[in-house]
Amino acid sequence: MKDINRTIPPKFKTIAKLSFTKAKEKKLANNIPVYTINAGEQDILKIDILFNAGEWYQDQALVSSSTVQLLQEGSANFSAEDIAEKLDFMGSYVYYNAGKHTTGISVFTLSKYIDDTLEIIEDSIKNPLFLEDNFATYTAKKKQQYAIEKQKVEVIAQKKYAQILFGANHPYGISHEPEDFDNLSIADIKKFHKTHYTSENCKIIISGNIKPEHFEILSRRFGTPFGKIAGEKAHVQEFAIDPSLEKNHHIEKPGAVQSAIRIGKLLVNKYNPDYPALQVLNTVLGGYFGSRLMSNIREDKGYTYGIGSGIVSHKTAGYFVIVTQVGQDVCEQAKQEIYYELKKLRTETIPEEELQTVKNYMKSTLARNFDGIFALSESFKTILEYDLTYSYYSRFWKTIQNITPAELKTLANTYLHEDSMYEIIAGSK
Transcribe 352-416 into DSSP letters: HHHHHHHHHHHHHHHHHTTSSHHHHHHHHHHHHHTT--THHHHHHHHHHHH--HHHHHHHHHHH-
Q: Which residues pair with 64 in a beta bridge?
A: none
Query: Residue 58 and residue 60: Cα distance in Å, rounded?
Result: 6
Considering just the CA atoms, what is the radius of gyration of the chain in Å? 24
CA 132 to chain centroid:
31
pLDDT of 357 higher than 50: yes
DSSP 171: T
Cross-strand pairs, 259: 326
What lies within 8 Å, CB to CB, of 275 at 6+ separation is: 268, 269, 311, 313, 318
> What are the tens digits of pLDDT across the range 193-231?
999 999 999 999 999 999 999 999 999 999 999 987 544
Tell which CATH architecture fits domain 24-222: 2-Layer Sandwich (3.30)
Count of alpha carbons within 13 angstroms of residue 214, beta-carbon side: 26
DSSP 3-state of 174: coil
Q: Which of 90, 308, 117 is nearest to 214 (CA)?
A: 117
The least confident of 37-41, 197-201, 293-297, 377-381 is: 37-41
Compute how many other C-beta atoms are within 10 angstroms of the C-beta atom of residue 72. 20
The count of C-alpha atoms lying within 13 angstroms of the C-alpha of 250, restricted to the half-sphere facing its C-beta, is 9
Instruction: From 50, 4, 314, 347, select the one nearest 205 (Cα to Cα).
Output: 50
Q: What's the average model confidence in pLDDT over 298-327?
A: 96
Q: 287-313 burial, b if ≥16 CB within 10 A, otherwise e? A: bbeebbbbebbbeeeebbeebbbbbeb
The closest of 237, 258, 260 to 249, measured between CA atoms, is 260
Sign, CA dihedral 343-345-346-351, equals positive
Per-domain boundaries in the chain: 24-222, 248-427
Residues 48-103: pLDDT tens digits? 999 999 999 998 899 999 999 999 999 999 999 999 999 999 999 999 999 999 99
Do 24-222 and 248-427 fold alike per CATH?
yes
Q: Is 150 helix (H, G, I), strand (E, B) or coil?
A: coil
Q: Among residues of the chain, what percentage have pLDDT more than 70?
A: 96
Q: What is the pLDDT of residue 399?
A: 97
pLDDT higher than threshold 50 for residue 177: yes
Examine the pLDDT at 12 and tell me if it is beyond 70: no
pLDDT of residue 230: 47
**Would you place residue 3 in the very low, low, confident or very high pLDDT band (cuts 50, 70, 90)?**
confident
Is 14 strand, coil or helix?
A: coil
Tens digit of pLDDT for each residue in 13-24?
A: 666 678 888 999
Rounded to the nearest integer, the mean pLDDT of the chain is 93
At a CB cut-off of 8 Å and minimum separation 6, what does 8 contact? none
Q: Which CATH architecture has domain 248-427?
A: 2-Layer Sandwich (3.30)
Pairing between β-strand 93-98 and β-strand 103-110 as defined by DSSP bridges = antiparallel
Q: Residue 296 and residue 344: Cα distance in Å, rounded?
A: 12
DSSP per position, 120-132: HHHHHHHSB---H
Short-list 263, 285, 309, CA closest to 420: 263
pLDDT of residue 41: 87
Q: Residue 233's pLDDT band (boundaries 50, 70, 90)?
A: low
Q: What is the pLDDT of residue 236?
A: 64
Task: Classify each residue of 209-231 as buried b or exposed e, where b means 16 or more C-beta atoms within 10 Å of its C-beta.
Answer: ebeeebbebbbebbbebbbbeee
